Amino acid sequence: MLDINSIPEGPVVDWLSARAELANSTSDALKEGQLFSCGDGNIYQWQQGTRRPFVSKEAVSRWMLEGSEIQQIAQEKLYAAPEGLPIIAPPVLLNPIL
């Protein structure tokens, strides 16, 4: 049986400084979950090394991402990444009783 006390502790990370470091990052590398576009009107999300296209502006809106920052990248970089599954709008279940 594993004793929880036998697992070493990691370093303490101040979330404010980590957030500021992430915001000030000038790296061109896409981060997991980041939205990006090459200016062609389509929006993509970076997920597990793939670009996942949103099927419509409605899908972006329904996932409540319309106010999110969208990084602009070069078209060559966009098409160099493998394409993942498209992102559709989440379903809405309507209950006639409510």
Counting residues of the chain whose pLDDT is more than 70, the rounded percentage is 92
pLDDT > 70? residue 27: no
Residues 6+ apart with CB under 8 A from 26: none
Instruction: With CA atoms as reference, report the closest residue to 71 among 94, 45, 97.
Output: 45
Per-residue pLDDT tens for 48-58? Answer: 989 999 999 99
Q: Which of 22, 2, 4 is nearest to 13 (CA)?
A: 22
Q: What is the mean pLDDT of the chain?
A: 86
pLDDT interval class at 45 (50, 70, 90): very high
Domain 30-91: which topology?
TTHA1013/TTHA0281-like (3.30.2390)
Structure tokens at 46: 């970076």
Mean pLDDT on 22-28: 61
Alpha carbons 98 and 65: distance in angstroms, whole number: 27
Kindly state the average pLDDT of the residues 39-43: 89
Which residue ranges make up each domain of the chain?
30-91
Write the DSSP assignment of 21-84 as a string of letters.
HHHT----SPPTT-EEE-SSS--EEEETTEEEEBS-HHHHHHTT-TTS-EEE--HHHHHHSPB-
When pLDDT is cut at 50, 70 and 90, the band that residue 15 belongs to is confident
50-90 pLDDT, tens per residue? Answer: 999 999 999 999 999 988 899 999 999 888 999 999 999 99
